[in-house]
Amino acid sequence: MEEKLRSINLHKKPNHIAIIMDGNGRWAKGKGMQRVFGHRNALTAIRETADTASDLGIKFLTLYAFSTENWNRPKFEVDALMSLLVTTLKKELPEFIKKDVKINSIGNISSLPKNAQKVLAHVIESTKNNKKITLTFALSYGSREEIVNAIKNISKKVVNNELDVEKINEKVINNHLYTFNLPDVDLMIRTSGEQRISNYLLWQMAYAELYFTEVLWPDFRKEHLFDAIIDYQNRERRFGKTSEQIESDE
């Protein structure tokens, strides 16, 4: 693992990593347990990933914790996930403060249970001045819904003569997304072997590098994050330019 750490160029690390934490149910099923068992055991992966990212100096980490489509899962599982969210936030708050972690959330937060909304708001308020890393939980989040809401809000401003339609550009759209206070994603990681982005940060991942691993999320540890970052650093990020242009810019 030390060799992997030495392979990471700290001057070329991703600024914003987004993760689709997939495989909890399959991990639990493989152990003869219910899906909820997998969700509970995923907390170790979250802690270790957040700690490792922070130690590397990565400033933004966004985790896909609960999608808009997840509301369609069995009520028992949804209730368990909401309960787990509340208890985890309460339990981890002292650690967030100690480790200088700023907690953020994106998504249709108003659709969460009232208690979850209250606890989440308290944790966000309590950590708002922390600066080492911003840990964002995507909750009741769907990228298409996010974009639709942005279009609606921009349209209202146009109708009310608050915004000239000719002034609409990428910055205006960015400012109306849930992620208005976050930079674009540099690296997206999905665990469990699935190779989809599942309605996650579609606008924000326009130029992200995508990394897929067979590791199920409850088994994801710092060495797996190292692997993803090393892979990221071995890619040429051109943003529409040629290789020769990239070389001349360096």
What positions carry a catalytic annotation? 22, 70
Q: Name the strand (E) or helix (H) holding 43.
A: helix 43-56
8 Å CB contact between 110 and 178: no
- In angstroms, the CA 189 to CA 63 distance is 10
3-state secondary structure of 248: helix
Dihedral sign computed on CA atoms, order 50, 28, 189, 87: negative
Q: Which two tokens stand for residue 171?
A: 């910055």
Residue 12 amino acid letter: K
Which residues is 18 bridged to in the sheet? 62, 188
Query: Closest Cα to residue 221, out of 18, 9, 42?
Result: 42
